[in-house]
Chains A and B, each alone.
Chain A
Amino acid sequence: MRLIFAGMAVLVLLVVGLLGFRGSSSRKPPLEIFPDMDRQPKLRPMEPNRFFPNGISSQPTPEGAVPRSRPVVDREGRKVFPYQNDHPVNSGRVAGTTNYLTLSPLPVSREVVARGRERYAISCVPCHGELGDGQGMVTRMAVGMAAANLHDPAIVRMADGQLYRTLAFGSKEGQGVMKGYASNIDVADRWAIVAYLRALQSSRLASLEELKSLEKAQPGTVPAALLQPKSN
């Protein structure tokens, strides 16, 4: 009799053990019984590290460091490095003044606008919406959130440099609601977003004649009216 009970207990254990835990979740980290050099005493990004007083393994750039990587090439073909904080390409201002650059200092092409569109979709759409009307999903769903309508005449009239500074360092030079995205978007991409934003804005500035010419235009071609330079 005892043997039968023992046998049944083993059977229960087997069934539960084999089938009971399939698809289960666990709060506990995986048990690494055989280490197999899985964990090595080396620095990995974003892991805690007691060597540094602040406990971070990915240390911020030390003060005074001059990063000389990833230069941006401006319209004249000159290289601009990230450390040149006051350079118009990085600051969005005319050198030596606080005036905003009227036009983007980087070359603008179809590829740049396409890149800008992609970057806009990543960082701007949540609040400003795909149409740029300030009706992004976050703005619509979150209580207390408001985002600017990018077709607002005040924003359309802004210089390229001011748009650049807004998306890099925040609205109203960092005093407004919008925070700066300089740490998330690099310099060339910021100017690409500005370029795309201009294209987005001009989509709502077409006159009736331009729209009519659009209607007649062949798909895939650019209507003549939109190729005319236009003053703001």
Chain B
Amino acid sequence: MSNIFPKWTNRLPLLVLVGGLLLGGGVVTGVTYYFTPKYANVGYQPLQPVSFSHKIHAGELGMDCRYCHNGVEKSWFSNVPAASTCMNCHGVVLKDDPRLAPVRESHEKHTPLPWVQIHKTPDYVYFNHSVHVNRGISCVHCHGKITEMDEVRHEKSLSMAFCLDCHRNTHEKIRPLEQVYNLDWKGEGFAPEREGRALAGKLGVEGSQSCSVCHR
């Protein structure tokens, strides 16, 4: 009777406890890292040097994205505007507001404003803005509803799976070129299976999945 359980089983409760603690700790650490803004980027919302609100400018005033990000159609990156673009209006509107002091200083001294970059793909990813916006992929697909954000927040994961989801099903995301900058477009009368496929064909959108499309 005394031989049924070998001697090491006396330490079993301790082993179970230690093992459980290690496993639990591992899971918690993994989740708090991999499932949060620390790793997934989603939710990253840094403090910016100026409390610029996209909600007011692009949402309520209805300004086009390209008023400020005027290089997005021509360039692989979407530029942050020069302070002079802000001063087009803010030379008159709120011209003494303390919140805009860094903008005025940047404009007068020709020094850059230290905006914090939020959306940052790894350096081995060659994402081209102009290729996407000129072929019916909207800002909203990667950046979310910027027009509703007072402070911009990293809304989509921009992981490789995120890119490939779209590259494999371009007809589901493609939209008429005149709706690319309309983040509120609901897609009425534009069925992905019919109009989407037709537009993708017309614009020559292949949604290539070759490695060298993004990695060079």
Contacts and interface: CB of A to CB of B under 8 A. Distances in A.
Interface residues of A, number: 53
A183 B23 CA distance: 58
B5 interface: no
Nearest to B30: A17
B33 A144 contact: no
B67 A47 contact: no
Nearest to A121: B64
Contact of A3 (B17, B27, B110): B17
B87 interface: yes
A47 B153 CA distance: 19
Interface residues of B, number: 54
Given A14-B27, A14-B28, A142-B93, A21 B123 contact: no
B116 to A, nearest CB: 8
Contacts of A178: 88
B41 A40 contact: no
Contacts of B66: 122
A222 interface: no
Interface in B14-42: 17, 20-21, 24-25, 27-29, 31-33, 35-41
Contacts of A13: 24-25, 28
A181 interface: yes
A227 interface: no
Given A29-B46, A31-B38, A126-B67, A40 B88 contact: no
B124 A37 contact: yes
Contact of A30 (B17, B41, B153): B41
B93 A18 contact: no
Interface string A175-192: 001110101110000000
A6 B20 CA distance: 11
Nearest to B123: A40
A145 B93 contact: yes
B49 interface: no
B99 to A, nearest CB: 14
B91 A17 contact: no
Given A18-B31, A54-B111, A141-B61, A27 B45 contact: yes
Nearest to A34: B39
B84 A30 contact: no
A216 B20 CA distance: 84
Contact of B47 (A27, A37, A144): A27
A84 interface: no
Contacts of A137: 60-63
B62 to A, nearest CB: 5
B44 A30 contact: yes
Contacts of A121: 64
Contacts of A47: 117
B208 interface: no
A23 interface: yes
Contacts of A39: 122-123
A46 B79 contact: yes
Interface in A9-53: 10, 13-14, 17-18, 21-31, 33, 36-40, 42, 44-48
Contacts of A126: 61-63, 67, 89
B107 to A, nearest CB: 11
B43 A24 contact: yes
Contacts of B77: 44-46
Interface in B95-141: 95, 110-112, 114, 117, 122-124
A206 interface: no
B92 interface: yes
A138 interface: yes
A107 interface: no
Contact of A33 (B33, B41, B91): B33
Interface of B: 17, 20-21, 24-25, 27-29, 31-33, 35-41, 43-47, 60-64, 66-67, 70, 77, 79-80, 82, 84-85, 87-89, 91-95, 110-112, 114, 117, 122-124, 153
